[in-house]
Amino acid sequence: MRRLEIVAVEGLPEIRPGDRLAPLLARCADLADGDVVVVTQKVVSKAEGRMVAVDPGDPAALAALIEKESVRVLRRRGDLVISETGAGFVCANAGVDRSNVPDGYVTLLPLDADRSARRIRDGLRASAGVEVGVIVSDTFGRPWRRGVTDVAIGCAGIAAVVDLRGTADALGRTLEVTEVAVADELAAAAELVMGKATGVAAAVLRGVDPSWFRAASVRAEIVRTPGEDLFR
């Protein structure tokens, strides 16, 4: 029987620039080899100092920051900008976000969230002696469907996409579909125990398919290039 367990990591302190996340996660979570640790972008950005002071009474300053974080604007409606970031993510307001951030500040996305994930993974090996996969998650909207879901913006030691091409379906024929974005599904699953309002910023998944653990990258595996994308 295949079984997966997801546990919220509780007790993390408010994260400040320069904090090392791995020892804090190791202290608050009971980790084992083969776990996947999902950490939200918000605490990763805070630890990496990706916070910027923005006058809450000056919408133009916020808009300028969103432009600066964008390499291409796809759509605008009122205050909302859907744009592509330097790392290739298409999301609202280029990932500039002020929820769960002290007043007068916003967070920016990590410069390289795959590297952020690798750093946490290496830190967990060093501080807790465990071999785990790490995913950095963020909350994105989608076209065509209301509501936000959490997706992976970085990963280390756990596949972003698992390629099922060439494997047989349950009736013995070759599958047509194919590449499953397991890192996004793991991020979404983790969000179910976190909740936006509770301040829980990480979760541990136990029971993940062992064959998915390998060197990996959200940017290389999940981010579509504009040329292959039908909606850019």
Q: Is 108 in the site for a second copy (CB under 8 A)?
A: no
Please choose, out of 45-53, 60-68, 115-123, 194-202, the segment that lies near a second copy by the rule CB under 8 A. Answer: 194-202
The minimum distance between CB 176 and a second copy, in angstroms, equals 6
> Considering only residues 26, 182, 202, 216, which one is a binding residue for a second copy as defined by CB under 8 A?
182
Q: What angle do CA 58, 59, 63 make, to 5 degrees?
A: 125
Please choose, out of 64-72, 106-114, 119-127, 203-211, the segment that lies near a second copy by the rule CB under 8 A. Answer: 203-211
Which single residue is written with the structure tokens 């609202």? 92
Closer by beta carbon to a second copy, 60 or else 177? 177
d(CA 3, CA 160) in angstroms, rounded, equals 20
Closer by beta carbon to a second copy, 27 or else 224? 224
Closer by beta carbon to a second copy, 68 or else 224? 224
Contact 138, 154 (CB under 8 A): no
Amino acid, res. 46 = K
Query: Binding to a second copy (CB under 8 A): which residues in 59-88?
Result: 75, 77, 82
Q: Is 146 in the site for a second copy (CB under 8 A)?
A: yes
> Considering only residues 51, 63, 65, 148, which one is a binding residue for a second copy as defined by CB under 8 A?
148
The minimum distance between CB 56 and a second copy, in angstroms, equals 11
Q: Is 177 in the site for a second copy (CB under 8 A)?
A: yes
Amino acid, res. 90 = V
Query: Count residues contacting a second copy (CB under 8 A)?
Result: 75
Closer by beta carbon to a second copy, 119 or else 153? 153
d(CA 84, CA 41) in angstroms, rounded, equals 17
Contact 156, 110 (CB under 8 A): no
Q: Is 101 in the site for a second copy (CB under 8 A)?
A: yes
Contact 189, 39 (CB under 8 A): no
> Considering only residues 3, 60, 78, 210, which one is a binding residue for a second copy as defined by CB under 8 A?
3
d(CA 44, CA 40) in angstroms, rounded, equals 7
Structure tokens at 86: 């330097």
Beta bridge partners of 70: 85
Number of other CB atoms surrounding residue 46 within 10 Å: 24
